[in-house]
Structure 1
């Protein structure tokens, strides 16, 4: 089933923030990946960023997941108002294409849809209304 979840970005304190959220909501992380897991040559992080959070997911009840990451220095610092995205998880690659291309009309693609090393079809964009979106179709959904 398709899902929409909030995706928060931080300027280096994502791990601290998500440990706090975990203490409030309970549970455990579904995923916690650091930038050092990026294969060589693919969006390589700076040395001081390698231990920062590339992706974390914390279930908040049966139908919602709070997600987040640290922002890479190459993207500039985040500020209040641009430090979150809406993450859309489609049911198929075709649906990912349809939704991504629809949202991109009049907007700005920041990362085109492509197969990525974590086993997904992923892309990022800002729509024409200034809303940040991430589209992530996972090939091996459970």
Structure 2
């Protein structure tokens, strides 16, 4: 068994995937748009008009982890609370690079720094509203 995050970006999924690909080296393994889905036979459960080009489902590989994302129903604003994604980098240099990439356009909640448990740790909410904790293993 394993647990995978599934993140709903409410209309900004394509932008987020492009950003994580460019800045963190993520790889999009699968991408399906709403227009790619077969017709739903339930007339009460049809996609909202205008979602055709939005992302219905994506699988993303980041390091050795696969996670999933979607535009969801494209509600006005994505809200994420009660959790953070934890990104463990290989070394201080790459950890600081990832932290700064996530902080670009976002907000730092704990600056990148050495702590008593790690040579590098920081917390940030990225430009999409997703909270991250970036750390390196203490070796």
Alignment TM-score, normalising by the size of structure 2: 0.49
Alignment TM-score, normalising by the size of structure 1: 0.48
* Higher alpha-carbon Rg: 2
More strand by share: 1
